[in-house]
Structure 1
């Protein structure tokens, strides 16, 4: 038998208190019996019964464990690329504190829930680059996420198709191209002027790559600011950045993926994390561990039965 908890001062206190009270009770009972010129031998039965109850209660407090069983524990992982839009429109503040800052927060949340998966980061505007290759190092991922800024890339624009194609090539040409589940999580406001090729969509569907698209922003949009000034176009009109929900939903539909919203009114990232977690992963580790369970309730139940008997059974203290 194993014990979940060591015996402590609490158990010692109850034992000492029980002995002290019962010694005082026995001395008082014997003194009264002598005065009455009789015996008080039957109190030994109650003492024996209550001592057993105390012992059973202490054993249940210590958490006795026995009945060992072998249980197989497995971890299933995936290869996931987080694709992040770093175009200037991601600085828009229609999502507090900004679209990009909100995305960075949710990316950290995502990583914390995918400990068994390899995760990489691809950033894009008009061009796409691998910022972090697939890795299990959550600390490194979080460090790189904090460094994301819209001025990180030299070009402007939003080319979701090139970023998706880069992620596809990295997933398929990696060190384990066929043995692991592959997924992409795209964060963008969808302001893309590029149409993806049919071959890209066909390949994503053919190889079963999971696509999870998170639309960041609002359909009403907001004006953009740069260096404290409102951005104007060539016609001196205020530049309004809006979430292109139609493009993102169409992209998600063509890849047989799922679409989610991220703004001040609605945050579907939690649902997205659940969907990714439920998706079938690849076995990355399996171990057989010995499991013992806390059987305190056996001893607690026996103690309660004896307490009930103690209440129901009446024993004469003195014999006249």
Structure 2
């Protein structure tokens, strides 16, 4: 029990995660073990009546054979995990890093379900964001989602794996109030920036460091508060890089049932509702805040120019708490494997048979 608690309550990583691919070998191994047990049973059936043979070989235990097979399989699994060199963090330490502060603002209005960009605008945006995260440096990054209002999906963090988990669950159902509210997205991003540091010198540092919002949207502005969004970004010294998603052709907005199957398109009294990509608003946001405008369409294969531009921005030093001093813990799994193999050898195939009194 102590070992289990230790493993699952401590931050663990693998020095050689590529070796974990060998765990796939456990699948044919379990099939081989099962085949061996089946072949033994089948061979006994061919020799004669199975019940009679069991009485003649009463000292042989099928249950013990099964347990030996299970112990062998688990021992091999533990050895394979040990081969990947598991390591566990022993303590949290404040680590100094250098980077910029980025908030990704992702439009989750219903128009992002349009399928002019495959599989749809939202899924394409999430895919490009994930690729972007893989190529950024030691930056602090947060995630804001917005439609008719905005919500902080993930606070500022240097842990990109955690951020990706929050990104994966984003959908158009995350916000009930529909629309595209750029102002609220900027306000929520500003709160995320302000929430990073506290103290007397925090305000000065907040003004000096590079603050960037990456605005992923199809550009439709249903709230009419674009100028308010620009003014707030300028006040907070936030640089906006707009990433427009969509094609120039009007596209219907699909409607899905609870099982995720498309059943219709969004309709109004005038017929099927369509959505169009509107670059003007996104271009203005970028132009007025010192950023730049980029476009994601069917031919987009990456955002390398944006990544280069972000990496060229002035980076500030900041503190981040991380697990450090990772210690090797492969010995735990070697101990598990060794113990199971010893138990397997001690079990044997035989069972005690009570002698009948004459």
- For normalisation by structure 2, the TM-score amounts to 0.55
2:313 aligns to what? 279
1:75-97 superposed Cα distances (whole Å, 9 cap, x missing partner): 53111100000111111111111
Query: SS at the partner of 2:271?
Result: coil
Correspondence 1:246 to 2:280: yes
The Cα of 1:164 is off from its aligned counterpart by 1.1
Asked if 1 retains the 8 angstrom alpha-carbon contact of 2:105 and 2:213, the reply is yes
Find the partner of 2:289 among 255, 258, 268.
255
The Cα of 1:266 is off from its aligned counterpart by 3.8
Find the partner of 1:168 among 190, 203, 215.
190
Change (3 A) 1:178 1:95: farther
1:129 aligns to what? 151
Q: In 2, Cα distance between the equivalents of 1:204 and 1:196? A: 13
Find the partner of 1:204 among 201, 208, 233.
233
Correspondence 1:85 to 2:102: no
Q: In 2, Cα distance between the equivalents of 1:125 and 1:200? A: 14
1:9 aligns to what? none
Which of structures 1 and 2 has the bigger CA Rg? 1
Q: In 2, Cα distance between the equivalents of 1:267 and 1:275? A: 17
Change (3 A) 1:232 1:121: closer
Q: In 1, Cα distance between the equivalents of 2:184 and 2:282? A: 15
Q: In 2, Cα distance between the equivalents of 1:177 and 1:96? A: 43
1:96 aligns to what? 118
Find the partner of 2:128 among 81, 87, 106.
106
Query: SS at the partner of 1:152?
Result: coil
The Cα of 1:238 is off from its aligned counterpart by 1.4
Change (3 A) 1:85 1:199: closer
1:175-215 superposed Cα distances (whole Å, 9 cap, x missing partner): 14442321110100011122336565344335532211000
Correspondence 1:156 to 2:178: yes
Q: In 2, Cα distance between the equivalents of 1:225 and 1:206? A: 38
Q: In 2, Cα distance between the equivalents of 1:218 and 1:100? A: 13
Q: For 1:301-320, list aligned pairs within 5 A.
A: none
1:182 aligns to what? 211
Q: In 2, Cα distance between the equivalents of 1:206 and 1:274? A: 26
> How many pairs align?
212
1:246-277 superposed Cα distances (whole Å, 9 cap, x missing partner): 12112222223211000103456221111111
Q: In 2, Cα distance between the equivalents of 1:234 and 1:166? A: 32
The Cα of 1:232 is off from its aligned counterpart by 4.2
- For normalisation by structure 1, the TM-score amounts to 0.61
Asked if 2 retains the 8 angstrom alpha-carbon contact of 1:125 and 1:158, the reply is yes
Q: Which runs of 5+ in 1 are unaligned?
A: 1-73, 286-320
Q: In 2, Cα distance between the equivalents of 1:183 and 1:109? A: 18
Query: SS at the partner of 1:264?
Result: coil
Asked if 2 retains the 8 angstrom alpha-carbon contact of 1:261 and 1:267, the reply is no
Q: For 1:135-154, list aligned pairs within 5 A.
A: 135-154=157-176
Name the Cα RMSD after superposition.
2.2
Could you tell which deviates more after superposition, 234-243 or 131-140?
234-243
Asked if 2 retains the 8 angstrom alpha-carbon contact of 1:128 and 1:162, the reply is yes
The Cα of 1:109 is off from its aligned counterpart by 1.4
